[in-house]
Structure 1
């Protein structure tokens, strides 16, 4: 079998830890949500979110994304995963996840060699999966002795299954029809009096590698159930699921780590609505006045002293913007209709990778820039689409210290401007 494997990681270091491979199937085709695995939730594509959580897991040795889509492959590599290029025969609507995992195992071992102790199947369509969940299923197999494991959450609902209706004897209408699945419809005990049901979340599975190869499916031998937070259970199958995930991300992603100085080389700031409160005062002569926050100026000064490149990027040509840039001693690009192109050109000139740029915005004209950088950030009062596209959202609104807050993220809350 010929396989193609590409990625940034080097060979394994010798270690006592078990060899655990996390496989994320992420094909390009999707009928319910086009390009689903690249859909952005909380400022990052779904495949990126899954890779990050797998890489954060203590027991995972390597992360592989199995895909037939070049765009998915590019996003996976940028997030730190290896990429297995999946053949068309395993990328259709009827292809199983198990087949993709087995192919990825073969491809990985053809490149790396050596045995695998466990393999994980991680679904990027579960956007609120955590590294702790990934670790828990892996631990159930490599530390707890289970043959297979999966994430589950408590479920207390009554399940019904539709069935055919038949005429009732004696002319009493219809009999049969819907039937209770996990309850007797003639006797419905209270929740606390019923056996607990557990819902398979679809997020993460772990299997002993040799047992998985022999069985060909993910459930074999002793299967361990790993409980997860039911508030985080969401599988994206249609556009409504995606909309719910985007709405929930600001609430459920509060645990996400803040950027550090060693992850960011430049901070690019929109002006109106981020360094101001988006209001403009106009005097009788038509001159515009805006209010800025002194703390933001102190934050910019601290960022500059720490060696970060800082840029103000604005759509409008406005003397107020230029004056503020002079005051802060930072360059400004304004009067551009395509902020993303201006940002890309500036990054090329400064030799700064876009993935190491933090961009702060508030309105829809910032969306292309947010998609371009590695750290897209929105102010607290940003428009909803911008908050949804952001990786992080500041606590402070625009013009009320949001820039100083970001400086605190990068340099520490007790930074001394």
Structure 2
């Protein structure tokens, strides 16, 4: 009986320096609640064929984030961590470090860029398959383009006047359907035969294959405007994701606009009243029975916040100016890793807490900037059962019946 051929070792290397001039701490910047380095790690770990994922970095915080998402971290020497260092040098160093530590030789090596936040696991897997199946020696993601490119006139003495077409004759412009597509290199992922990469020292050698991607997903983050675009596009391009019970060790809830509809009712004496939803109380009680710590964290000083917490039998911190500092101190006191905290909020004063926790969640009625920063968004508005919906994510079908909105 023939011996089964062992599966190839496919190493994904994600270069992620700590320094960035365009966007400070860029590789830790969250998009939809997940740092860029975490998004790259997730794309690689979810790809068929990838066996190992390593983040090459000179930064302790990036290394910690990489490990929290399931990758290994390789400390990059200062000599190849500067602005002029090439990505190839980081990949080669990580390849050497991996093989020395793992005692295995990589068959395929990938260069995966954190700056492409919408890279998918399917695209990574296709790039791997092109090499493993022997179709190509190198492969990379590219987006089809039918655009007309132009070049500005130079200052040469040849008398050239006006802009000139690069990929077309400006006197003859065929219709889009009559032109063959050209392909734009996206910079997201490059796959290479590992032995060939060692020999040639660069990412393009031998036969090269294209992994064609959707142009709508192509975005490289080089400056703050790119990052803002990524955050705005994430709710449209990301697959919807909700946490399970295994993902979360505690639930922290904002109050106004999250457990209420964000309105305040006043009587003739100036006393304030708010509306809460009974379904939320049911959900919170279920979370408590399941053993999950639940905390209300609010800037609101109104005694109604404390009264609601007493009724729900959960602790409360209210009248808080810096919610993120209070949350950090609470996590330390309770021995809870913030990366395993679900925080639900609705307005801009919740954003610092969003950046602290592993599962920032926005209610559907939240401010646009909060929805853009969230890792998950409820279908239900604040004050109408959004917390019950979150409890159903964590606890399963028994709480999964939607809570109807009032007429």
Q: Same fold (TM over 0.5)?
A: yes
Q: CA deviation at 1:398?
A: 1.4
Of the three residues 34, 37, 43, the one matched with 1:44 is 34
Question: 1:211-230 alignment to 2 at 5 Å?
Answer: 211-230=196-215
Question: Separation in 1 of the partners of 2:311 and 2:134?
Answer: 61
Question: Separation in 2 of the partners of 1:266 and 1:181?
Answer: 57
Question: 1:79-158 alignment to 2 at 5 Å?
Answer: 79-158=69-148
Please state whether the residue corresponding to 1:372 is helix, strand or coil. Answer: coil
Question: 1:194-273 alignment to 2 at 5 Å?
Answer: 194-253=179-238, 255-273=239-257
Question: Separation in 2 of the partners of 1:375 and 1:63?
Answer: 23
Aligned to 2:163: 178
1:54-73, CA deviations, whole angstroms, 9 ceiling, x for partnerless residues? Answer: 11112111111111122222
Question: 1:2-401 alignment to 2 at 5 Å?
Answer: 16-164=6-154, 175-253=160-238, 255-401=239-385
Q: CA deviation at 1:167?
A: 8.2
Q: CA deviation at 1:413?
A: 4.3
Q: CA deviation at 1:144?
A: 4.6
1:258-317, CA deviations, whole angstroms, 9 ceiling, x for partnerless residues? Answer: 211111121110101100111111111222110112221222122222222211111223
| TM-score, length basis structure 2 | 0.93
Q: CA deviation at 1:165?
A: 5.7
Are the structure 2 counterparts of residues 99 and 177 from structure 1 closer, same or farther at C-alpha, using a change threshold of 3 Å?
Answer: farther
Question: Separation in 2 of the partners of 1:281 and 1:109?
Answer: 66
RMSD between aligned residues: 1.9
Aligned to 2:405: none
Q: Which runs of 5+ in 2 are unaligned?
A: 402-407
Q: Which runs of 5+ in 1 are unaligned?
A: 1-14, 169-173
Query: Is 274-283 or 178-187 further displaced after alignment?
Result: 178-187
Question: Separation in 1 of the partners of 2:140 and 2:110?
Answer: 10
Question: Separation in 2 of the partners of 1:134 and 1:142?
Answer: 12
Q: CA deviation at 1:230?
A: 1.4
1:178-208, CA deviations, whole angstroms, 9 ceiling, x for partnerless residues? Answer: 2212111111101111111111111011001
